[in-house]
Amino acid sequence: MRIINLSEQNTILNRFVSELRDVNIQKDSMRFRRNVERIGETMAYEISKTLNYAPLETQTPLGTSITNVPTDPIVIATILRAGLVFHHGFLECFDKAENAFVSAYRKYRENHQSFHIHIEYIASPQIENKVLILTDPMLATGGSMDLSYQALLTKGEPSHVHIATIIASKQAIEYCAKNFPQEKTTIWAAAIDPELNESAYIVPGLGDAGDLAYGEKE
Ligand SMILES: O=P(O)(O)OC[C@H]1O[C@H](OP(=O)(O)OP(=O)(O)O)[C@H](O)[C@@H]1O
Ligand SMILES: O=c1cc[nH]c(=O)[nH]1
Ligand SMILES: [Mg+2]
Interval 43-53: pLDDT, tens: 999 999 999 99
- ipTM comes to 0.96
- Beta bridge partners, 104, equal 119
Q: Does residue 66 sit within a domain? A: no
Q: List the residue whose alpha carbon is closest to atom 6 of ligand 2.
A: 208
Q: Which residues contact 127 (CB under 8 A, 6 or more apart)?
A: 75, 100, 152, 155, 156, 157, 158
Supply the CATH number for residue 198's domain. Answer: 3.40.50.2020
Instruction: Find out whether the beta carbon of 151 lies less than 6 Å from any atom of ligand 2.
Output: no
Q: List the residue whose alpha carbon is closest to atom 18 of ligand 1.
A: 210
- Kindly compute the dihedral angle of the four CA atoms of residues 18, 22, 28, 32, in this order, to the nearest 10 degrees: 30
- Beta bridge partners, 64, equal 59
Instruction: Find out whether the beta carbon of 168 lies less than 6 Å from any atom of ligand 2.
Output: no
Instruction: Find out whether the beta carbon of 139 lies less than 6 Å from any atom of ligand 2.
Output: no
Average pLDDT in the 86-104 region? 97
Neighbours of 193 (CB within 10 A): 21
Q: Does residue 56 sit within a domain? A: no
3-state secondary structure (DSSP) of residue 37: helix
Residue 27 has pLDDT above 90, yes or no: yes
Q: Does residue 21 sit within a domain? A: yes
Tell me what pLDDT residue 107 has. Answer: 79
pTM, to two decimals: 0.95
Interval 126-175: pLDDT, tens: 999 999 999 999 999 999 999 999 999 999 999 999 999 999 999 999 99
- The H-or-E segment that residue 92 falls in is helix 83-93
Neighbours of 52 (CB within 10 A): 11
